[in-house]
Amino acid sequence: MTGVAGFIGSHLARRLLNEGAEVVGVDNLLTGRMYRIRDLLGHKNFTFYKADLTEYKNCQILCQNQDQVWTLAANMGGIGYITKVGADIMRDNLRININMLEASVTAAVKKFFFSSSACVYPVEKQTLLGVVPLKEDDAYPANPDSFYGWEKLTTEKMCKAYSEDYGLETRIARFHNCYGPMADYGDERGKVIACLIRKAIHYPKETFVVWGDGKQERSFIYIDDLIDALLRLMVNDYSEPLNIGTDRLISINDLVKMIIEISGKNIPIKYDLSKPQGVRSRNADLTLIKKVLGWTPKTSLEEGIRRTYEWLVSVLG
């Protein structure tokens, strides 16, 4: 598993180990954090390597004798990062993904999982509030709003090509705004829910600033629900991209109200219109995943945010 010390990778590794799997995890630890997997290091079925996957030889070694390869490693971050950085994201991620696909074929890996993103969807389908939920086939004609989205879409096609040309079984999930305990919460690499919770916990030492006007809309999936879907996907025979998210659309302003209510504080909100806010509205259509996997998310946004808030309090004090 690549990116094992990342937010999603660490949760996935823990779940696989709990279900009796043997996990070989790798991370370069540039954005991955050892605290996420420290409790796994003594597990008899867990092996960790620190390695740079932009180097093909490392991928070759790690793919040997593996039944499945899960790729979650990526140079990425929150909206502030992916709107600022283009070349590094495309270069690093494409190198990693190409290397892992090639090494998987060479090592006769049976199944290959690729973590894609809702960022693949065309910007023109996400310009109005109250957006129509995005179906998987809405990705074409292609026009992502970021280089990160283009990299993800390119690798989706590479997975299909490697499947058709070399017989590698591939599975592809398009993640929609996952959150939960152990998520990054810094302004550059962090995602919106964890960052807003951090600001609420730190208030009044930290000013509570919302990027943009707060009217932008998203849907959010709790980490446990996302992992449930991934495990179902990997044992299913469906090989086309699948949305994994929720279809509950909420504005950032309403999200802020929810977090402030949980905090129990009286927090004034400031807006910074100079900050990036991404597309105006994005939501997931879950029709296909319900049909293919029989899966629906179980954790309410209120409950998921409460759990995430409690975790971050334990971290920040």
Catalytic center residues: 148
- CA pair distance 297, 93, nearest whole angstrom: 29
Residues 6 or more apart in contact with residue 47 via CB below 8 angstroms? 23, 24, 25
- Beta partners for residue 179, in sequence order: 222
- CA pair distance 163, 24, nearest whole angstrom: 23
Task: Show the tokens assigned to 58.
Answer: 């490392």
> 309-312 long-range CB contacts below 8 Å, 24 or more apart?
309/197, 309/200, 309/201, 309/259, 309/262, 309/263, 311/180, 311/181, 311/182, 312/181, 312/185, 312/194, 312/197, 312/198, 312/201
Task: Show the tokens assigned to 144.
Answer: 């992502």
Helix (H, G, I), strand (E, B) or coil at 300: coil
Helix (H, G, I), strand (E, B) or coil at 128: coil
Place of tokens 């499947």: 163
* Residue 240 per-residue DSSP state: S
Residues 6 or more apart in contact with residue 254 via CB below 8 angstroms? none
Single-letter amino acid, residue 211: W
- CA pair distance 72, 235, nearest whole angstrom: 18
Question: Do residues 182 and 8 lie in contact, with contact meaning Cβ atoms separated by under 8 Å?
Answer: no
